[in-house]
Amino acid sequence: MSGASNGLLGLFDRLCEPFNGSNTIGNSRAFWVGAVVALAITFAYPLFVSAYQAGNTALFLLYGLLALSLSVVWGYAGVLSFGQVVFFGFAGYTFGIVSINLGSTLGTTLAIPVAVLVATAVAGLLGYFMFYGNVSGVFVAIITLVVTLVMQTFMAQTAGDKWTIGEVPLGGFNGMPGIPNLAVGVEGAALTFSGDTFYWLVLSTLVVVYFGLRVLVNSRFGYAMVAVREDEDRVEMLGYDIRKVKLGVFTLGGALAGFSGVLYASWGNYIDPSVYSLTFATMPVVWVTVGGRESLLGGLVATVAIEWFRQQLSVTGSEWAMVVVGVLLLTIVLALPEGIIPYVHRKAVGVLQQRGFVDPDRPATATEEAAE
């Protein structure tokens, strides 16, 4: 393609510009054209499949939001957290408690920000404790893992009447049923989301968050995050308060994971302590590692692919799902640490450059080259 910025194409390029930067892959016109096509397809998807299938895919998409929360915390700021599911669970349970107690559409609407706020506060508190207590690296991972384990044990034994908040029992192992669908508005003039509309809501949220994160990651704060990941001591001596940076990212990750939890609770109208299980706590790590740690898109694509695959396996009654997942994770860590999507992107860019579809003057992003 010629470099001429004429009319429509030029406008298109300018629209995409704020989302480009060296901290994300896919900055070329080819990428964005592909992205628009993919967006069109994913938005049109429910028109071609049953409501059930759309709802099913929506689950994978909301997991994608959870993946993004880890991607930004670990991939970009270098903080390995096994605890994203803690914020996910806190928000899901809070959403259930508040919406069932208030028992109205307005109540459900209010429950959304309350739940996300709770998740954010928990993340902020945990983050403050860790980062301002000089806990780093491996110990952060351990502490977040322990918190997850503790939450699992705790929630599992909340059966019985004394574990009730308002009129809502926490339910222990049996979980909390009867969580309403997401709704925005007041009784009579409200928008309720289920089936196709739920799918579109999740997809829109995902798209907005993805674009927002693209901007963040390529901004000053984004560079600060990346520098903290690369060399904490150096970036501190450049005048950055690394504790603040880590706390900020971690809290943001908590908010994103929390929103994902709200979506989850209203998706199945149910939540139980299995969200705190070790298996589920690991999945974000799997999604992000396999997809590409330092790539927002990588995490998203891997989430949908892996979850779809796991579902296929369990449908056929196979018990091998987690074994395959374990082996996949191990293989990627050992053989392809950058992750699949960045690898594929690198190769694709190479091919496209040879064929002249991508401007060779634009240097490959630092993270891509570093992976070589």
The site for other proteins (CB under 8 A) is made up of 22, 80, 129, 133-135, 137-139, 141-143, 145-146, 149-150, 153, 157, 220, 223-224, 226-227, 230-231, 233-242, 278-279, 282, 285-286, 289, 319-323, 325-330, 333-334, 337, 363, 366-367, 369-370
Instruction: Return the number of the residue (111 or 325) whose C-beta is nearest other proteins.
Output: 325
Give min distance, CB of 27 to other proteins, in A: 14
Give min distance, CB of 140 to other proteins, in A: 10
* DSSP code per residue over 128-159: HHHHTTT--THHHHHHHHHHHHHHHHHHHT--
Give min distance, CB of 177 to other proteins, in A: 24
Residue 204, token pair as written in the block? 């829109």
Give min distance, CB of 25 to other proteins, in A: 14
Give min distance, CB of 78 to other proteins, in A: 8
Instruction: Return the number of the residue (74 or 193) whose C-beta is nearest other proteins.
Output: 74
Instruction: Return the number of the residue (4 or 238) whose C-beta is nearest other proteins.
Output: 238
Instruction: Return the number of the residue (110 or 141) whose C-beta is nearest other proteins.
Output: 141
Instruction: Return the number of the residue (36 or 366) whose C-beta is nearest other proteins.
Output: 366
**253 burial level (CB within 10 Å; 0-12, 13-18, 19+):** buried
Instruction: Return the number of the residue (14 or 234) whose C-beta is nearest other proteins.
Output: 234
Long-range pairs of 99-107 with CB within 8 A, sequence gap ≥ 24: 99/179, 99/180, 100/166, 100/167, 100/168, 100/176, 100/178, 100/179, 100/180, 101/165, 101/166, 101/167, 101/168, 104/187, 105/183, 105/185, 105/186, 105/187, 105/190, 105/192, 106/185, 106/186, 106/187, 106/190
Sign of CA dihedral 109, 112, 115, 120: negative
- CA–CA distances in Å: residue 40 to residues 33, 57, 207, 289, 371: 11, 16, 12, 27, 31
Instruction: Return the number of the residue (1 or 142) whose C-beta is nearest other proteins.
Output: 142
209 backbone dihedrals φ, ψ, rounded to 5°: -65, -45
Give Cα 15 to chain centroid, integer Å. Answer: 25
The Cα–Cα gap between 297 and 24 comes to 9
The three-point CA angle 246-248-254 to 5° equals 100
Give min distance, CB of 102 to other proteins, in A: 30
Instruction: Return the number of the residue (198 or 368) whose C-beta is nearest other proteins.
Output: 368
Give min distance, CB of 46 to other proteins, in A: 33
Give min distance, CB of 56 to other proteins, in A: 23
Give min distance, CB of 151 to other proteins, in A: 11
The Cα–Cα gap between 147 and 23 comes to 31
Instruction: Return the number of the residue (121 or 149) whose C-beta is nearest other proteins.
Output: 149
The Cα–Cα gap between 171 and 355 comes to 60
172: alpha, beta or left, given left = phi > 0 and alpha = psi -120 to 50?
left
